[in-house]
A = this chain, B = another copy of it.
Amino acid sequence: MSKKFVQAITAIDEDFAQWYTDVVKKAELVDYSSVKGCMIVRPYGYAIWENIQSYLDKKFKETGHENVYMPMLIPESLLQREKDHVEGFAPEVAWVTHGGNEKLAERLVVRPTSETLFCDHYSKIVQSYNDLPKKYNQWCSVVRWEKTTRPFLRTTEFLWQEGHTVHATAEEAQEETLLMLDTYAKMCEEFLAIPVIKGQKTEKEKFSGAHSTYTIESLMHDGKALQSGTSHNFGTGFAKAFDIKFADKDSEMKYAHQTSWGVTTRLIGAIIMVHGDSSGLVLPPKVAPTQVVIIPIAAHKEGVIEKANELQARLATVARVKCDTSDKTPGWKFSEYEMKGIPVRVEIGPKDIENHQAVLVRRDTREKIVVSLDELEIKVAELLEDIQRHLYEKALAKREAMTYTAKTMDELKENAQNRPGFTKAMWCMNQACEDKIKEEVGFTSRCMPFAQEEISQTCVCCGEKAKTMVYWAKAY
């Protein structure tokens, strides 16, 4: 029965896209809704998001950020205030044209992002250097009209947080931009066990209206890159468009410097595609809603259910633990919790009770470990830490093995065709070359990493003098 359940999903290396769809459905992360491109985030998927929220919200507050809530509707005229911004977003928004039974005098967009609302508000509440900095964040959903969608990765509506800050100086804004990028990077690496490349986006790939955009990029199992979080320095661009000025200490009126930064439910897609396998989801313990599941073996035998419940109570002191005493077979339960990626399974049966032991099974390596019941809490806690570390190390080793270099267009094409992953190659910073690489190779520039290397001295495309190293890849 265990086998049958597992075989219900496509093997990961047979058809990755189908495997992904199978996992999100079978692990009960999402369901499709009756609105095209919008997903229902089911309890198990939402619980993962709540853990991410709770980790980040704490970090945001520790660094002096406050949560607010802005309206979900934006008047067309407000969206149009910043030229680049409206050009970037107008083609992909949902338009509200009627309220109740009446046609609206001015159309409204369902927020695709809230810079314009935050800026409008800041222009009213920021007058003096004493009012600065303002460091606000909002947890909400946004809507972007997408033609092709995939759960978590690209949906018409998605959940996210958007931070928006205002500062007196350019230095402070840049510091904030990088601090938040770092917060995201740490969250990915320490909490989600996903290694990331930190760097700057090219002019072409930066956010509509930003002065500069920074990104963390991660690598999925199939060798495609996923932009996993971005942090933007707006300079004074939005402040000028929205007239956000303040009287500085020297009494001069100055434009404020702004940032914005965000991560989305896309991170759940990253967790699936970095750690998952052909049996389903594999969750890093820190983000797993349930870290340990206890499964009684031969549960009808006297004392087994009682012992399982006793172990649950004991383990609740060190982990988020669940005990499944339902009447499904153990094999069925094994498969179900493997599908859901629960890090540790504890098996307890009559023989185990007799030997004063339990069997621990790791989801990541399938390794079975017999432990004395005297040491249960300590062994489980150690195992969870080890799984968290192992998943990160495995993902990092995999990314390193899938990171290549190229000095010429031929090498770049060769990598694009035969070597899924990142390619590090030099670039002249001319957009014509970036466009040509996208067209001829199929790679987009993921970022100009902070950790630069000199792969060669010339641009991989035009052969002119190189100015920066870029991570190139196919991307989600």
Contacts and interface: CB of A to CB of B under 8 A. Distances in A.
Interface of A: 31, 33-35, 38-43, 46-47, 49-50, 66-75, 78, 91-101, 108, 110, 117, 120-121, 124-125, 136, 140-141, 143, 145, 156-157, 159
Given A95-B98, A98-B97, A67 B40 contact: no
A182 B71 CA distance: 31
A40 B157 contact: no
B120 A33 contact: yes
A455 to B, nearest CB: 39
A43 B71 contact: no
Contact of A157 (B31, B72, B78): B72
A73 B38 contact: yes
A34 B96 contact: no
6 interchain residue pairs of minimum CB distance: A38-B71, A43-B66, A41-B69, A95-B98, A100-B145, A99-B145
A157 B66 contact: no
Given A92-B100, A94-B96, A94-B99, A70 B108 contact: no
A99 B108 contact: no
Nearest to A142: B72
A91 B93 CA distance: 24
B66 A46 contact: yes
Contact of A110 (B78, B110, B145, B159): B110
Contact of A40 (B98, B100, B121, B159): B121
Given A47-B66, A66-B46, A124-B31, A40 B97 contact: no
Contacts of A99: 93-95, 145, 156
Contact of A97 (B33, B43, B78, B97): B97
A75 B31 contact: no
Given A46-B66, A100-B92, A143 B73 contact: yes
30 contacts: A31-B125, A33-B70, A33-B71, A33-B120, A34-B75, A34-B120, A35-B73, A35-B75, A35-B108, A38-B73, A39-B71, A40-B121, A43-B66, A43-B136, A46-B67, A46-B68, A47-B67, A50-B67, A69-B159, A72-B110, A73-B94, A91-B101, A94-B98, A94-B99, A95-B98, A96-B110, A97-B97, A99-B156, A110-B110, A140-B141
Nearest to A32: B124
A94 to B, nearest CB: 5
Contacts of A108: 35, 94
Contacts of A41: 68-69
B120 A71 contact: no
A117 B157 CA distance: 15
B43 A68 contact: yes
A60 to B, nearest CB: 12
Contacts of A50: 67
Contacts of A46: 66-69
Contacts of A47: 66-67
A143 to B, nearest CB: 7
Contact of A68 (B40, B95, B141): B40
Q: Could you say which of A42, A69, A156 has the most chain B C-beta atoms within 10 Å of its C-beta?
A: A69
A25 to B, nearest CB: 11
A140 to B, nearest CB: 8
Nearest to A328: B130
B159 A71 contact: no
Contacts of A33: 70-71, 117, 120-121
Contacts of A110: 72-73, 96, 110
B66 A34 contact: no
Contacts of A38: 71-73
A133 to B, nearest CB: 13
A93 to B, nearest CB: 7
